[in-house]
């Protein structure tokens, strides 16, 4: 990574359609890990500083692309940055914003904006890698602050950050957490990327898949398990609608047609 004039990589944060909770988590991380501020130069970060810059090497982008003007802004960022990181589920997956993609866009617009629907430009929500090339992802809703620190540290060491690529169930087993299916709940852990320490099952809730799926989810085995547990297609579609609308788990939905 090329250094800037003061010897530190220049980092800029950008937000698109999001709740900005992931940026807040970054602010938390910078307070618990102030040493990061000695090795990067933050040149733009709306939640933390009024400084603006068109000169940066690392762009960290939160939020989904939800309107035509977002595309132009994303392309400008991509042209400037050497390295682009998608921050959080909205940027990584389309996230919660993509729930609306499951319904006719005009219905959603009228529901939100009423008779002023035509005043606002908007279209189906997309992950940012559906618009520009992304070099790394920090998943989650919100992100995990320790993972943020790890990814940035690895990147500054000149290495490519890697995420766990095994299912959440492994973390559950490591923590000896009782599977929520034993309590009659539904959990997307068998197909979801680990890395959050299976925090939701640890508190007795099924995983919603906010970290996205592993790269090769074992759909056959998951469908078989759901069938054994008596979970029907509607229930699993509902569970996947929160974060996985845009992920390629259509195969799962097709398989579930027979359950
Ligand atoms: S991923 Fe979640 S916490 Fe982060 S910006 Fe989107 S909605 Fe907010
Ligand atoms: S609670 Fe979810 S993640 Fe944990 S073992 Fe059960 S299915 Fe897997
Ligand atoms: S358990 Fe699932 S929903 Fe909960 S934080 Fe982890 S990936 Fe997200």
Q: What is the CATH topology of the domain spanning 10-156?
A: Rossmann fold (3.40.50)
Q: Which numbered ligand comes closest to the C-alpha of 206?
A: 2
Whether pLDDT at 63 is above 60: yes
* Strands of 50-124, DSSP E: 58-62, 83-87
**Residue 40 CB coordination number (10 Å):** 19
> Which of 9-23, 50-64, 65-79, 219-233 has the lowest average pLDDT?
219-233
Whether pLDDT at 116 is above 60: yes
DSSP 35: G
Token digits of residue 18? 């999001």
Contact 132, 101 (CB under 8 A): no
Torsion-angle region of residue 233: left (phi > 0), alpha (psi -120 to 50) or beta?
Answer: alpha
Q: Which atom of ligand 3 is nearest to the CA of 199?
A: 1
**Ligand 2 centre distance from Cα of residue 168 (Å):** 7
**Ligand 3 centre distance from Cα of residue 205 (Å):** 9
pLDDT band for 248, please (50, 70, 90 cuts): low
pLDDT of 213-244, one tens digit each? 999 888 888 988 998 999 988 888 888 889 99
Q: What is the pLDDT of residue 247?
A: 76
pTM of the predicted model, to two decimals? 0.93
Please report, in angstroms and rounded to a whole number, the separation of the first and last CA atoms in the chain. 50
Residues within 6 Å of ligand 1 by CB = 18-22, 62, 88-90, 95-96, 141-142
Contact 121, 62 (CB under 8 A): no
SS (H, E, C) 172-202: HHHCCCCCHHHHCCCCCHHHEECCCCCHHHH
Q: Quick check: bond before 85 cis, omega within 30?
A: no
Q: What is the pLDDT of residue 138?
A: 98
Shortest CA distance to 24 belongs to which of 56, 46, 53, 51? 46
Where along the chain do its domains lie? 10-156, 168-256
């Amino acid at each position: 990574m090329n250094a800037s004039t003061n010897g530190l990589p220049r980092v800029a944060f950008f937000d698109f359609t999001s709740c900005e909770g992931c940026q807040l988590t970054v602010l938390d991380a910078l307070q618990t890990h102030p040493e990061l501020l000695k090795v990067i130069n933050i040149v733009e970060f709306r939640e933390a500083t009024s400084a603006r810059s068109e000169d940066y090497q690392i762009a960290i982008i939160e939020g989904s692309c939800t309107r035509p003007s977002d595309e132009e802004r994303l392309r400008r960022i991509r042209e400037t940055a050497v390295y682009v990181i998608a921050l959080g589920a909205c940027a990584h997956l389309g996230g919660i914003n993509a729930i609306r993609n499951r319904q006719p866009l005009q219905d959603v617009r009228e529901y939100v904006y009423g008779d002023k629907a035509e005043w606002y430009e908007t279209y189906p929500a997309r992950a940012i890698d559906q618009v520009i090339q992304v070099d790394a992802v920090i998943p989650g809703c919100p992100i995990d602050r320790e993972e943020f620190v790890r990814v940035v540290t690895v990147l500054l060491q000149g290495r490519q950050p890697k995420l766990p690529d095994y299912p959440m169930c492994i973390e559950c087993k490591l923590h000896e957490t009782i599977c929520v299916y034993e309590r009659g709940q539904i959990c997307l852990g068998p197909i979801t990327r680990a890395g959050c320490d299976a925090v939701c099952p640890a508190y007795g809730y099924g995983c919603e898949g906010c970290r996205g799926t592993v790269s090769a989810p074992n759909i056959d085995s998951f469908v078989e398990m759901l069938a054994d547990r008596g979970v029907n297609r509607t229930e699993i579609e509902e569970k996947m609608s929160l974060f996985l609308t845009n992920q390629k788990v259509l195969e799962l939905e097709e398989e579930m047609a027979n359950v």
